[in-house]
Amino acid sequence: MKNFQLVKASSPQSAVAIIAKDTTSKFIAGGTNLVDLMKKSVSTPNKLIDVTGLELTKVEALHGKTRIGALAKNTQVAEDDSIKEKHPLLSLALAAGASQQIRNMATVGGNMMQRTRCPYFYNTDMPCNKREPKSGCGALKGYNRMHAIFGASDNCIAVHPSDMCVALSALDAVVFVEGPKGERQIKFTDFHKLPGNTPEKDNTLERNELIVAIEIPDNNFTKNVHYLKVRDRSSYAFALVSVAAALNIQNNIIQDARLAMGGVAHKPWRLVEAEAYLKGKPVTEANFNYAAQLAMKDAKGYGENTFKLKLAPNSIVEALTIAASKS
Amino acid sequence: MAKSTHNSHEGQQEGTNSRRDFIKKSGMLTALALAPPSFVVASENKWDEKLAGYFETVPLSIEVNGKMQSLQIEPRVTLLDLLREQMELTGTKKGCDHGQCGACTVHVDGTRVLSCLTLAVMQQGKKVTTIEGITSGKKLHPMQEAFIKHDGFQCGYCTPGQIMSGIACIKEGHANSKDEIREYMSGNICRCGAYSNIVNAIEEVKEGGKLS
Q: What is the pLDDT of residues A201-232, one digit of tens each?
A: 999 999 999 999 999 999 999 999 999 999 99
B86 by Cβ neighbours in 10 Å (0-12 / 13-18 / 19+) ranks as middle
CATH of the domain at A24: 3.30.43.10
Cα(B155)–Cα(A201) distance, rounded to whole angstroms? 44
The range of the structural domain enclosing residue A9 comes to 5-52
Choose the CATH number for B142-208 among 1.10.490.10, 3.40.190.10, 3.30.1330.10, 1.10.150.120. 1.10.150.120
Residues of B with CB under 8 A from a CB of A: 55-56, 58, 74-76, 78, 97-99, 102, 105, 111-114, 117-119, 121-122, 165, 168-169, 172, 174, 182-184, 186-188
User: What residue of A is the nearest CA neighbor of B111?
Assistant: A104
User: How many domains does chain A fold into?
Assistant: 2
**One CATH from 3.60.20.30, 3.10.20.30, 3.40.50.300, 1.10.10.60 for B46-133:** 3.10.20.30
List chain B residues with CB under 8 Å of A99.
102, 186-188
Average the pLDDT over A287-302 and give the result: 98
Verify whether the Cβ–Cβ distance A235 to B119 is below 8 Å: no
Whether residue A196 lies inside any domain: the answer is no
Rounded Cα gap, residues A129 and A136, in angstroms: 5
Is A258 contained in some domain? yes
Last residue of a domain, one of A37, A52, A67: A52
Q: pLDDT tens, B80-101?
A: 999 999 999 999 999 999 999 9
Nearest-Cα distance to chain A for B194, in Å, is 17
Tell me whether residue B135 is exposed, middle or buried, using C-beta atoms within 10 angstroms of its C-beta: 0 to 12, 13 to 18, 19 or more: middle
The confidence score (pLDDT) of residue B210 equals 77
Classify A280 in phi/psi space as left (phi over 0), alpha (psi -120 to 50) or beta. left
Q: Is residue A243 part of a domain?
A: yes
Write the pLDDT tens digit of every residue in A127-181.
Answer: 999 999 999 999 999 999 999 999 999 999 999 999 999 999 999 999 999 999 9
Longest dimension (CA), chain A: 62
Domain boundary among A17, A36, A52: A52
Write the residue in A39, A50, A236 that is nearest to B187 by C-beta. A236
> Is this structure's pTM higher than 0.95?
no
A6: number of Cβ within 10 Å: 17
Instruction: Check pLDDT > 90 for residue B35.
Output: no
User: Phi first, then psi: what are they for B195, rounded to 5°?
Assistant: -55, -50
Span A73-85, average pLDDT: 98
DSSP state of A127: -
Q: Distance between CA A51 and CA A24 in Å, rounded?
A: 16
Give the three-class secondary structure for B69: strand
The residues of chain B that CATH labels 1.10.150.120 are: 142-208
Nearest CA to B130 among B154, B155, B152, B104?
B104
Of A149, A172, A161, A162, whose CA–CA distance to A258 is shortest?
A: A172
By Cβ distance, the residue of A5, A39, A235 closest to B56 is A5
